[in-house]
């Protein structure tokens, strides 16, 4: 219950007010933490995500309607997504996130402090699309040898202080931001891809 005068809370399909959902639980977003490192690199935590299961929740609800058992409550995961706060003041994301081979490619920008300047800096983030955390394998050429491999550190972000960049065009193992900025990355896994669709009706 919200205290008097508290701002309204947006609940997912009013699920928290349903008798089949525990009254002391709330659906939430998993918070990862990102830190800035020397050399313009960023690292992000890799906390595990415990996804909310609509399939399990609907199963409990349907079982209660057919059997009359209204005592059973949902006990599965509570996460409905993830996020991390950007560590630089005024840093924001204004372009579309790209999902590629299980990775989320996010470009954030920080406008210049100069009042009449159109420039600023950018950070390219490559994180696990499922939980927003750090990937096990390196995504950037951190040692400068022209390749992304086992010798590179698995950073999740790289800062470019020379300009504002936006979502890249990705071809094989290159991210193209402009004719002057091409960043090495990992190749995409090729083959058959599939996913599951949940129908709550």
- Residues 95-135 pLDDT 10s: 889 998 899 999 999 998 887 777 889 999 999 999 999 99
Residue 15 has pLDDT above 70, yes or no: no
Phi (first) and psi of residue 65, to 5 degrees: -70, -35
Phi (first) and psi of residue 26, to 5 degrees: -135, 140
Q: Which range has the worst mean pLDDT, 108-112, 165-169, 192-196?
A: 192-196
Dihedral sign (CA 126, 131, 133, 137):
negative
For the chain, give the percent of residues with pLDDT over 90: 34
Contact 140, 151 (CB under 8 A): no
CA dihedral 187, 40, 45, 185 (to 10 degrees): 0
Contact 155, 41 (CB under 8 A): yes
pLDDT of residue 58: 83
pLDDT of residue 74: 83
Tell how far CA 191 is from the center of its chain.
24
Average pLDDT of the segment spanning 189-201: 57
Say which residue, 24 or 142, is predicted with more confidence: 142
Residue 182: closest CA among 194, 196, 170, 193: 170
Q: What is the pTM of this model?
A: 0.76
Residue 183 has pLDDT above 50, yes or no: yes
Sequence spans of domains, the chain: 14-184
Residue 12 has pLDDT above 60, yes or no: no
Tell how far CA 15 is from the center of its chain.
23
> Model confidence over 41-64: pLDDT tens digits?
999 999 999 999 888 888 887 887
């Amino acid at each position: 219950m919200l205290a008097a005068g508290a701002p309204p809370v947006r609940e997912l399909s009013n699920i928290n007010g349903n008798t089949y959902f525990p009254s002391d639980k709330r659906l939430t977003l998993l918070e990862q933490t990102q830190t800035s490192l020397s050399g313009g690199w960023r690292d992000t935590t890799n906390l595990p995500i415990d996804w909310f299961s609509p399939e399990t929740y609907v199963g409990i609800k349907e079982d209660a309607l057919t059997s009359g058992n209204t005592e059973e409550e949902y006990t599965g995961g509570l996460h409905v997504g993830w996020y991390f706060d950007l560590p630089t003041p005024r840093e924001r994301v204004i372009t579309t996130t790209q999902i590629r081979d299980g990775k989320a490619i996010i470009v954030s920008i920080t406008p210049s402090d100069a009042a009449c300047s159109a420039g600023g800096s950018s950070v390219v983030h490559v994180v696990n699309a499922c939980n927003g955390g750090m990937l096990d394998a390196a995504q950037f050429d951190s040692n400068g040898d022209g390749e992304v491999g086992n010798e590179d550190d698995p950073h999740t972000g790289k800062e470019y202080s020379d300009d504002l960049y936006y979502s890249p065009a990705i071809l094989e193992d290159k991210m193209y931001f402009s004719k002057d900025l091409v960043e090495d990355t990992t190749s995409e896994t090729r083959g058959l891809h599939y996913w599951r669709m949940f129908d709550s009706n």
